[in-house]
Amino acid sequence: MKHFLSLLAVVLAVPAYAQNTPAPAGAFNIAGSGETGNTHAELFPYLHEARVSMVRLFPEWAGIQPKQGEWDWTSADALVESARKNDIQLAGVLAFLTPWASSAPNDPDHGARTRTFPIKNIQYWRDFVRETGARYKNDITYWEVYNEFNATTFARNATPANYAELVKEADLELAKVNPQAKIGIGCADVDLSFLENVIRSGASGHFDFLAVHPYSLMDAALAGREAVFLGLGDNLRKLLKKTGQRDDIELWVTEVGTTATNTAASEDRQAAALVKAYTLCLAQDIRRVFWFEGRGPNYGQGSFGILRQDWSKRPAFFALQTMTRLVNANPHPLGWLDLAPGTYGFVLQGNPDPVLVIWASTDAGASVQFGGPVTVTALDGTAVQQEAGSPLQLSRSPVFVTALPPALLAQAQENAGKPFPWIKDYSELDVASVQMGASNVENGLVQIAGEDGDHNTVVELVDGVYARRTDKANRNNYINFDVSDSYASLGDKDLEITIVARGADPSKAAGFVMCYESATGYHEAKGGVTLSPNDGWKEFVFRVNDANLANSWGWNFRIDASNSASDVMVKEVRVKRLGPKK
């Protein structure tokens, strides 16, 4: 009884914020950072102008409850008020720990003080969630538990079970004060193995949406591998089905983006990436997408914001504004169109007419024609009339096509229930392979090379054969690979990976280890490889029985030559599934 009276006193001391009806949740949203929390009053009017529906942002627990028993709602109240004024709904994030509740309360590093697990007492978390949910029950419906818990930057000394406990308790506490509240779980990138462990560790049945941050898939799409991004929805639904979750769990992308410097080419690339990100997600019925971010600090050689540091609008801002003008705020995917080789086309519900978003996947571009007159709108909103039968030249920058001929719309709608044609089916393949060379020959297995040079390889002619090597001089010590999901993915544990390699420098020894994706993270396979000087090509076979190719961080396995004295040359890589496809 004493505990109940104490709890009642706290609830009465922290009343619900004034009555409000949140703006409807939509598809086109923005994710904020810690820096956004200081500029929301200036930022939100810009986002309202771009027709942004939701912003993923909320003050950290440490700011709201700096001391036990002491509550400071100043920052949160101001944020909620800014959202109200601009008809924006907040997607709240319940994060991180407050120092007095963490396992490192006195650490001089702020990150350690607020992100070291285990939590001292789960009751502290319950109280924080309950009071926060009660105060903002009229303003915030959607709450994501924590931010990127699988990244050690945000959760130190932590386990999936620690996260599952936070999720379960947040669900139970929010239900007491706001039965309409929706709970989400998430991760950095697309760490399906981590999410599966969280669900099985106690989060099952305690969340309403599943959120990921597919930055690696964005990189793949920008490199012309959009098909990899198009497998995201199916992989997430496969995970939910595998773990026995409800059919109505929504799929969200609560962070995705790419940086831009203040050069025209870089900013145009970012604008194209933004439209591709929203389109590729919506085409898979991923309901809410949050571009990171509105305006933010520089991260190395650029920033993610659709606004520059001086608050001027980047091309990405106008691209978002154009898309939200033409496409419905909560669009249903109406189907896809494969109008020419090397093109991607998706038809979305529009305002009010259907909209085709289409682009070419390579710098070579492509040309398409329409059976009737259409309107073609560029990312900056400029519209032109395209006559029937006249060729439309496509580039890697998407365009919006409206006034579609009825026959073409019917074709897209007929395709709606069919697999995407850009995703090949390798399920019956005996061995997936890639022949490394001037142009790799890929069959169910691809080498991943980042557009920014990360993990890139050097082509060389060796004994009359083109092959690829690491590039240690430029700190490219890895060669990453991705196996087609149709050949091996979640649950395909038994694999045989064969690497044909040699040292690149005949005067020096070389070596590598093979790292692969398992249900408990990335592991090094047993048996590192040593390549003696003057050795020719050799085959190295690795058998693993705990693989789980979830593409958690954008790759399934890699050759790691970081500890090698010289570069490693690779001619061929093969993957054999030892058993039927799961």
Location of structure tokens 């994706």: 517
At what angle are helices 264-282 and 315-326 packed, to 10 degrees?
30
In this structure, the answer to whether residues 193 and 114 fall within a common structural domain is yes
Helix (H, G, I), strand (E, B) or coil at 497: strand
CA 227, distance to chain mean position in Å, is 15
What sign does the CA torsion over 149, 151, 156, 160 have?
A: positive
User: Is 522 in the same domain as 570?
Assistant: yes
Place of tokens 């038809």: 347
CB 137 within 8 A of CB 155: no
**Dihedral angle sign, alpha carbons of residues 407, 412, 417, 423:** positive
Tokens for 6, please give them.
Answer: 């104490």
Characterize 333-359 residue by residue with b for buried, 16 or more Cβ atoms within 10 angstroms of its Cβ, and e for exposed: bbbbbebbeebbbbbbbbeeebbbbbb
The pLDDT assigned to 127 comes to 99
Answer yes or no: do 403 and 442 share one domain: no
- Examine residue 426 and state whether it is found in any structural domain, yes or no: no
CATH number for the domain harbouring residue 380 = 2.60.40
**80 and 160 within one domain:** yes
Residue 423 lies in a domain: no
Burial of 568 (0-12, 13-18, 19+ CB in 10 A): buried
In this structure, what CATH number is given to the domain that contains residue 246? 3.20.20.80
225 and 306 belong to one structural domain: yes
Residue 76 CA to residue 85 CA, distance in Å, equals 14
Sign of CA dihedral 164, 167, 168, 170: positive
Q: Which residue reads 């386990």 in tokens?
A: 159
Scan for tokens 């194209």, then name that residue: 272
Task: In whole angstroms, give the CA distance from residue 98 to residue 85.
Answer: 29
Report the alpha-carbon distance of residue 149 to residue 186 in Å, rounded.
Answer: 8
* In a shared domain, residues 68 and 162: yes
Look at residue 364 and tell me if it is in a domain: yes
Whether 306 and 440 share a structural domain:
no
Per-residue model confidence (pLDDT) at position 1: 33
- pTM for this entry: 0.93
- Residue where a domain stops, chosen among 285, 308, 326: 326
Query: Could you give phi then psi for residue 68, rounded to 5 degrees?
Result: -60, 130
Give the distance, in angstroms, between the CA of residue 357 and the centroid of all CA atoms in the same chain.
20
CA dihedral for 116, 119, 120, 126, sign (positive or negative): positive
The Cα–Cα gap between 458 and 568 comes to: 10
pLDDT of residue 455: 64
Q: Confirm whether 464 is domain-assigned.
A: yes
The phi, psi pair for 143, rounded to 5°, reads: -130, 125
Within-domain flag for 424: no
> Do both 154 and 236 map to the same domain?
yes
Check whether residue 278 and residue 393 sit in a common domain: no
Structure tokens at 477: 């010590």
What does the alpha-carbon distance between residue 148 and residue 129 come to, in Å, rounded to a whole number? 18
Whether 582 maps to a domain, the answer reads: no
Per-residue confidence (pLDDT) for residue 534, from 0 to 100: 83
CA 282 → CA 6, 278, 458, 502, 572, distances in Å?
Answer: 47, 6, 37, 44, 37
- Pair (401, 451) in one structural domain: no
Residue 101 is classified by DSSP as: G
Range of the domain at 393: 335-415
Q: Could you tell me if residue 352 is inside a domain? A: yes
pLDDT at residue 17, as a whole number: 58
**Residues 340, 395 within the same domain:** yes
Domain presence at residue 554: yes
Q: What is the CATH number of the domain that holds 480?
A: 2.60.120.260
Cβ within 8 Å of residue 497, ≥6 positions away: 514, 516, 525, 541, 542, 543, 544, 557, 573, 574, 575, 576
- Residue 503 dihedral angles phi and psi, to the nearest 5°: -75, 145
Separation in Å, CA 52 to CA 214, 295, 561: 20, 14, 45
Residues 495 and 472: their CA atoms lie apart, in Å, by: 29
Write down which residue in 299, 326, 353 finishes a domain: 326
Answer yes or no: do 277 and 254 share one domain. yes
Residue 4 is encoded by which pair of tokens?
A: 């109940």
Q: How far apart are CA 81 and CA 140, in angstroms?
A: 12
Question: DSSP secondary structure string, 277-344?
Answer: HHHHHHTTT--EEEEE-SS----SS-B--SB-TTSPBPHHHHHHHHHHHHB-SSPPEEEEE--STTEE
Q: How many domains does the chain have?
A: 3
Q: What is the pLDDT along the chain (582 residues), one digit of tens a residue?
A: 333 333 333 333 445 655 556 667 899 999 999 878 889 999 999 999 999 999 999 999 999 999 999 999 999 999 999 999 999 999 999 999 999 999 999 999 999 999 999 999 999 999 999 999 999 999 999 999 999 999 999 999 999 999 999 999 999 999 999 999 999 999 999 999 999 999 999 999 999 999 999 999 999 999 999 999 999 999 999 999 999 999 999 999 999 999 999 899 999 999 999 999 999 999 999 999 999 999 987 777 789 999 999 999 999 999 999 999 999 999 999 999 999 999 999 999 999 999 999 999 999 999 999 999 999 999 999 999 999 999 999 999 999 999 999 999 999 999 998 999 999 999 999 999 999 999 999 999 999 976 554 568 999 999 889 999 999 999 999 999 999 999 999 889 999 999 999 999 989 999 999 999 998 899 999 989 999 998 899 999 999 999 999 888 889 999 999 999 999 999 999 999 998 998
